[in-house]
């Protein structure tokens, strides 16, 4: 799964990349894998006091830049969609196709398709784009590129099945540091940091590791065995 | 389930609140529970003669006002979306979140998520908003509010599982009266009144009541037992 | 299934009608059944060289006209939506309802509801419209019409269950000819013609025919047996 | 659906054939269709007083014979399995295959596959036997026979989808009479007769009939359209 | 959920009751609720050295007796089925029905129905028995008893939805002590104790508690609201 | 997927191993991978004339021995269950666990879990045994062994998703030869050989190969990524 050169993460909001696969991103960048992140929303709804309402987008941008350093993300391609307003339409679809054709990832990571509204939208367009980017069509979005695999990560819902469990024991502290860098979000959901630790402990324990991150490989499109 | 103080019904069209839970609304208001209804569509497609085309929105508004009296609904928050045009987007999502934070319901009632297009949209945004309204975010929509429970009612499809069956024997006549008040809709689907009676009889008979209304409690978000 | 007078095919892109049910369309028109096709997209993304980008819509229109001749389609009602931009909204929904009320088909054919984005959208609106067109409402879209049956065809995904297998042994060559008429699309997916042959052979073999096309009857709305 | 010559009903307990499709059986026999019933259990658990414990199997046998007369069933092939003890194994499987090859039905009717334990078992073996009876194998069970269609009826759970709704307005009274003939069972579940009426009314109302019985056609095996 | 007088746990193996709901059992017994456990298997496969093969059943019986003390379980009704040999048949079904009618629980707790073989069997018979125990039939198994609710707990798989999260912060230590009392099983799966802690932390964190146990209420049978 | 040393195929009937993965077995043995097959049934029902009834088990044994040569299977572990009588119980479960611990496969191949009765049984016990064989328990069945992966192959139903498509272009002829060696079975289902060719062509065409065999990787148990 991680025997690759380039990975692309497609997510909705600033902090989804940390909650879902912060430990795995760090593990990949430590190993010299290039990791790019495509992120749609600007974080405008995540303010916990009215005073922050007009500042929250700026705050989260800065937090995200800190996270980029912590996790070693090469390129953060961000858009300015509002948090509840990421449509699954031709514009966002083409953004995904173009990113896949531009960054040429071996593996794509995106949301699990049964989470809530915007996470569903992103999972849907990213999954279809993963597949259609390999067709010989829409050439102004770049040359066709077939990524080898698509993995779904968990943010809100627990994955009902886990096809791959990544050992993040060595990078768990970086995941926590990255989440603490998203300081504005640590109080939106109470116990966010405890939740990260509990989930990592449990996922690890399921397979005999200290800390784990869970993924579900998308099996809608076959891997070819020659 | 009905040991509560306030309930909020979120539905698509004028008459869905009667078809789905008219008997339960009346039972709640009889018991002193405050019931508010959030309704998105204006009923513009429900005309059965071309003469009524331009009058149907007015007709249904008046019908709805009569129903409000019959069922004892406190507040009818209505919008002017056309019947086939209720999008599941950030605007309707925020309407739901704001209503939940404003009316502070103990229980939320909405459509079943497998019915047809607009019912699906409403079920989707209401279900996500039920949950996200409790987060510490988006404060201009009001202070966070965690409703205790979310129930789905049946209008077009039969619920495949019924978690709660409400005895509406005492309020069945009010349900029929309310449906008759929606006179313009009684001929859109042939046998509408018979269908209401048959369903109430059957739902009642399933558990030994005369007349029943069926609900499916949403179990995506846990109830906390301390 | 084919003991009917009129059929309506509702599909997304120019070539879906051939891939999904080209052999069955030809079989129907050979038998004197009127077949109309409602198609939403203009094919703008299916160019395999940059030179064709600005010409592809024209090319596919001409290809489609040739296919109309080959298969004997009576009326091709086409729209100018871009390939990735067919929304499931009130506009496309009304287009479907109006077409059903206009062409008065005995059977409606549309996409399978689990294929990718635009195919999902078309499957969704066509399925709901199939049902709602029979209601007494929205009369400016025509008089109510209840088609007898709705069938889903397969383009990208294999149907997991097949309710009807049509023997297309006699019209398989016409299906191949129609696909070759969509010359611009035969290289978008490599091996397109081989894929058509393999699928037809396998579908046929499943029930002892030479070539078959598979359909899944929609069972959400009951057939009435008097 | 009923344009056939012979039908075979495969069910678990004495009264399932009435609850599930009593009105349709009568409608078929009225129309000259031969209806045979294969029934596995002897009804030993359906006693409502300890005095009846040792007599219940006899009682239900006599009730069943009365029902045979009322509904016009040609042949009742019964077995002596206890009510909770119908296994899904090679013995019951071969009973089904042999019955299908012996009675040569055009249509087979059996339980819905999501009901409780023994109903699930019967649904499972009957569905597989419906299909395997047509293979050229196991010739000591009779010559291969391919029935045209398999339908599931509803006894405990409501069918989530209804593919065929049979108008039983004319035979509803016979259904009630047959159920009353199963007098011993009318008190096992309280409100049994009311439940039958409520369900028939509701099923009818769904499609504009007075009384209806609902069926779900099994779509796992294709109908061949030549 | 826990505002009850009596609870019955129906499980497969010695330690499932601890893994699944040890903290909740202790919380209930602390609150004066009577908790009985029906357990089918004798634990014969859980030996980790060949020397223990002939002693393991004895070992686990003694461990179970210690757990009974630790958790305050009133009655342990145990059977001698081998670990891989719990059939879903009339014998085990009647054991469940009889236990429900004997202990008269307000709430029944059993396995989640998607876990592996024997857990599936137990979930299936317990769920059907929960419902059928309330019928007026099979009186030699006791008088009819309708328990109010049925909850599924998680042992191997994570519940995909959690309807109730019980705060076990105060009884978590008792759960760990009970698991340690099942000393023979702590090495069958490596990291068993860590897994318990990780899961309890994560489940708690999901709703803002320190330690939690997750349940899924069975919604196949309606609660009646009068 | 095939970068392994040993594979174990667990199947129901003599010919399932050819229909499901004959080409892949040959490809593996050509590459020096050891392939063992565990087969439960003796083929007693597959006679197409009454004369063959008493000889069919012998016939199929000889056919199977020829297939072993053709495909290069190392060890054929066979049992004498009748074709419709493979139970999912502790005996068959232990047979699977013991085989996995004995042959120590890197990959296990078994039926798809939604096919018919005995295929379902085998899929169920093989899937659970794949997982439980790695536990430290039941040591008289051999030392714990964790196979890396479990794959499901298709015999009767088409897999709804294909995670791996094996190129069997070079071994397709061996697959056909093996099927012809099962001469007694080529007429049980009409068009058996055509069906094999059609499916292989279609599966190949889906991904640009000449002939393919489809597999679905079981994702219930995670692969650990260190």
pLDDT tens digits, one per residue of E2-25 = 999 999 999 999 999 999 999 999
Q: SS3 of E23, please? A: helix
The region of weakest confidence among A48-57, A167-176, C191-200 is C191-200
Q: Phi and psi for F144 in degrees, rounded to 5? A: -50, 140
Contact list, B140 vs chain A (CB under 8 Å) = 50, 53
pLDDT tens digits, one per residue of B154-192 = 999 899 899 999 999 999 999 999 999 999 999 887 778
Question: For residue A219, what pLDDT band results from cuts at 50, 70 and 90?
Answer: confident
| A221 closest CA partner among F199, C33, F208, D53 | F208
pLDDT tens digits, one per residue of C9-21 = 999 999 999 999 9
Q: Does F165 touch chain A (CB under 8 A)?
A: yes
DSSP type of residue C226: -
- Please tell me the predicted confidence (pLDDT) of residue B206: 84
pLDDT tens digits, one per residue of C76-95 = 999 999 999 999 999 999 99
Say how far apart CA E135 and CA E137 lie, in whole Å. 6
- Please tell me the predicted confidence (pLDDT) of residue E9: 98
Contact list, C190 vs chain A (CB under 8 Å) = 136
- Please tell me the predicted confidence (pLDDT) of residue A182: 96
- Please tell me the predicted confidence (pLDDT) of residue C206: 84
Are the beta carbons of F64 and F76 closer than 8 angstroms? Answer: yes
Q: How far is CA B152 from CA B7, B34, B222, E174, in A?
A: 13, 19, 16, 38
Based on the number of CB atoms within 10 Å of its own CB, is D5 exposed (0-12), middle (13-18) or buried (19 or more)? exposed
Are the beta carbons of B31 and B171 closer than 8 angstroms? Answer: no
- Please tell me the predicted confidence (pLDDT) of residue B159: 93
| A85 closest CA partner among B40, B128, B122, B93 | B93
Q: How far is CA F96 from CA A43, A110, D189, E42, F78, in A?
A: 52, 37, 44, 22, 12
- Please tell me the predicted confidence (pLDDT) of residue B189: 74
Say how far apart CA E195 and CA E190 lie, in whole Å. 9
- Please tell me the predicted confidence (pLDDT) of residue A187: 85
- List, as one string, the DSSP characters of A87-130: --SHHHHHHHHHHHHHH--SEEEEE-TTS-HHHHHHHHHHHHHH
Q: SS3 of A167, please? A: strand
Asked if the structure places residue B224 within a domain, the reply is no
Side-chain half-sphere of C38: how many Cα atoms within 13 Å? 27
Question: For residue C132, what pLDDT band results from cuts at 50, 70 and 90?
Answer: very high
Decide if E140 and D116 are in contact by the 8 Å CB cutoff: no
Q: Is the pLDDT of residue F184 over 80?
A: yes
Longest CA–CA span in chain F (Å) reads 60
The region of weakest confidence among B77-91, D182-196, E96-110 is D182-196
Asked if the structure places residue B1 within a domain, the reply is no
The region of weakest confidence among C212-221, D189-198, E144-153, E210-219 is D189-198
Q: Does C190 touch chain D (CB under 8 A)?
A: no
Q: Does B223 touch chain E (CB under 8 A)?
A: yes
The region of weakest confidence among D96-105, E199-208, F119-128 is E199-208
Return the CA Rg of chain B: 17
Q: Is the pLDDT of residue F220 over 90?
A: no
Decide if F199 and C202 are in contact by the 8 Å CB cutoff: yes
Say how far apart CA F126 and CA E94 lie, in whole Å. 29
The region of weakest confidence among D9-23, D187-201, E132-146, F157-171 is D187-201
Decide if F46 and D89 are in contact by the 8 Å CB cutoff: no
- Please tell me the predicted confidence (pLDDT) of residue F214: 97
Mutate: best of E94, E133, E134, E137, partner D, most D CBs <10 A: E137
Shortest Cα distance, chain D CAs vs residue B1, angstroms:
23
Q: How far is CA B60 from CA B20, B52, B73, C139, in A?
A: 17, 11, 16, 17
Report the mean per-residue pLDDT for chain F: 95
Q: Does E117 touch chain F (CB under 8 A)?
A: yes
**Residue by residue, what is the 3-state secondary structure of B38-67?**
EEEECCCCCCCCHHHCCCHHHHHHHHHHHH
Q: Phi and psi for A149 in degrees, rounded to 5? A: -150, 155
Taking 3-state DSSP, the helix, strand and coil percentages for chain A, each rounded to the nearest 5, stand at 40, 20, 40
Q: Is the pLDDT of residue E96 over 80?
A: yes
| Mean pLDDT of the region A85-111 | 98
Decide if E202 and A202 are in contact by the 8 Å CB cutoff: yes
Say how far apart CA E111 and CA E56 lie, in whole Å. 23
Are the beta carbons of B136 and A188 closer than 8 angstroms? Answer: yes
- Please tell me the predicted confidence (pLDDT) of residue F168: 98
Decide if F206 and C194 are in contact by the 8 Å CB cutoff: no
| B67 closest CA partner among B183, B167, B186 | B183
Q: SS3 of F76, please? A: strand
| Stated length of chain F | 226
| CATH code assigned at C194 | 3.40.50.10320
The region of weakest confidence among A101-115, C7-21, C53-67, C185-199 is C185-199
Q: Phi and psi for C87 in degrees, rounded to 5? A: -80, 155
Q: Is the pLDDT of residue B195 over 90?
A: no
pLDDT tens digits, one per residue of B112-135 = 999 999 999 999 999 999 999 999
Contact list, D47 vs chain E (CB under 8 Å) = 137-139
- Please tell me the predicted confidence (pLDDT) of residue A207: 86
**Residue by residue, what is the 3-state secondary structure of C110-178?**
EECCCCCHHHHHHHHHHHHHHHHCCCCCCHHHCCCCCCCEEEEECCCCCCCCCCEEEECCCCHHHHHHH
Q: Is the pLDDT of residue F189 over 80?
A: no
| Mean pLDDT of the region A42-67 | 97
Question: For residue F219, what pLDDT band results from cuts at 50, 70 and 90?
Answer: confident
Look at chain E and report how many structural domains it folds into. 1
Side-chain half-sphere of E205: how many Cα atoms within 13 Å? 21
Question: For residue C134, what pLDDT band results from cuts at 50, 70 and 90?
Answer: very high
List the single residue in E with minimal CA-CA distance to A195: E205
| Mean pLDDT of the region C175-197 | 89
Asked if the structure places residue F195 within a domain, the reply is yes
The region of weakest confidence among C174-178, C192-196, E137-141 is C192-196
Q: Does A87 touch chain B (CB under 8 A)?
A: yes
β F212-217/F149-153 pair status: antiparallel
Question: For residue B67, what pLDDT band results from cuts at 50, 70 and 90?
Answer: very high
Contact list, A217 vs chain F (CB under 8 Å) = 163, 217, 219
Q: Does F113 touch chain D (CB under 8 A)?
A: no
- Please tell me the predicted confidence (pLDDT) of residue E171: 98
- Please tell me the predicted confidence (pLDDT) of residue F187: 85
Are the beta carbons of E225 and B166 closer than 8 angstroms? Answer: yes
- Percent of chain E topping pLDDT 70: 100
pLDDT tens digits, one per residue of E163-196 = 999 999 999 999 999 999 999 999 887 778 888 9
Asked if the structure places residue B153 within a domain, the reply is yes
Q: Does B32 touch chain D (CB under 8 A)?
A: no
Of A46, A85, A116, the CB nearest to B137: A46
Q: Is the pLDDT of residue C27 over 90?
A: yes
Q: Is the pLDDT of residue A191 over 90?
A: no
Task: Please give the span between the terminal C-alpha atoms of chain D, in angstroms, as a whole number.
Answer: 18
| Mean pLDDT of the region B34-57 | 97
| Mean pLDDT of the region E75-85 | 98
Asked if the structure places residue A54 within a domain, the reply is yes
- Please tell me the predicted confidence (pLDDT) of residue C220: 81
Asked if the structure places residue A51 within a domain, the reply is yes
* Residue D143 CB coordination number (10 Å): 10
Are the beta carbons of A141 and A94 closer than 8 angstroms? Answer: yes
| A215 closest CA partner among A39, A5, A4, A9 | A9
Say how far apart CA F104 and CA F147 lie, in whole Å. 7
Asked if the structure places residue C36 within a domain, the reply is yes
pLDDT tens digits, one per residue of F75-111 = 999 999 999 999 999 999 999 999 999 999 999 999 9
Q: Phi and psi for D148 in degrees, rounded to 5? A: -75, -35
Q: SS3 of B2, please? A: coil
Decide if C162 and D206 are in contact by the 8 Å CB cutoff: no
- Please tell me the predicted confidence (pLDDT) of residue C189: 74
Q: Is the pLDDT of residue C192 over 90?
A: no
Q: Is the pLDDT of residue B13 over 80?
A: yes
Based on the number of CB atoms within 10 Å of its own CB, is A50 exposed (0-12), middle (13-18) or buried (19 or more)? exposed
Domain span holding position E75: 6-217
Question: For residue D166, what pLDDT band results from cuts at 50, 70 and 90?
Answer: very high
pLDDT tens digits, one per residue of F88-98 = 999 999 999 99
pTM of the predicted model as reported, rounded to 2 decimal places? 0.95
Q: Does B187 touch chain C (CB under 8 A)?
A: yes
Asked if the structure places residue C198 within a domain, the reply is yes
Question: For residue D47, what pLDDT band results from cuts at 50, 70 and 90?
Answer: very high
Decide if F202 and C204 are in contact by the 8 Å CB cutoff: no
Sequence-distant (≥ 6) Cβ neighbours of residue D226 within 8 angstroms: C167
- Please tell me the predicted confidence (pLDDT) of residue B77: 98
- List, as one string, the DSSP characters of D7-32: EEEEESSTTHHHHHHHHHHHHHHHTT
Q: Phi and psi for C62 in degrees, rounded to 5? A: -65, -40
pLDDT tens digits, one per residue of F141-161 = 999 999 999 999 999 989 989
Decide if F140 and E53 are in contact by the 8 Å CB cutoff: yes
- List, as one string, the DSSP characters of A177-190: HHHHHSGGGTTTST
The region, left, alpha or beta by phi > 0 then psi within -120 to 50, assigned to residue D143 is beta
């Amino acid at each position: 799964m991680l025997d690759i050169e380039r990975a692309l993460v497609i997510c909705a909001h600033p902090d989804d990349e940390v909650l879902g696969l912060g430990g795995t991103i760090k593990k990949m960048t430590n190993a010299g894998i290039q990791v790019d992140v495509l992120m749609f929303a600007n974080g405008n709804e995540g303010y916990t006091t009215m005073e922050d309402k007009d500042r929250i987008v700026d705050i989260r941008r800065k937090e995200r830049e800190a996270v980029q350093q912590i996790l070693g993300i090469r390129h953060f391609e961000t858009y300015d969609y509002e948090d509840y307003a990421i449509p699954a339409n031709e514009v966002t679809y083409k953004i995904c196709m173009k990113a896949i054709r531009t960054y040429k990832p071996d593996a794509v990571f995106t949301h699990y398709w049964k989470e809530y509204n915007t996470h569903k939208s992103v999972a849907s367009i990213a999954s279809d784009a993963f597949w259609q980017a390999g067709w010989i069509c829409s050439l102004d979005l770049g040359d066709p590129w077939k990524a080898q695999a698509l993995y779904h990560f968990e943010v809100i819902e627990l994955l009902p099945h886990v096809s791959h469990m990544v050992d993040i024991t060595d990078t768990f502290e970086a995941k926590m540091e990255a989440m603490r860098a998203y300081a504005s979000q640590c109080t939106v959901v109470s116990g966010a940091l405890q939740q990260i630790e509990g989930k990592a402990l449990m996922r690890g324990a399921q397979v005999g590791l200290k800390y784990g991150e869970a993924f579900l490989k998308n099996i809608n499109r076959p891997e070819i065995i020659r």
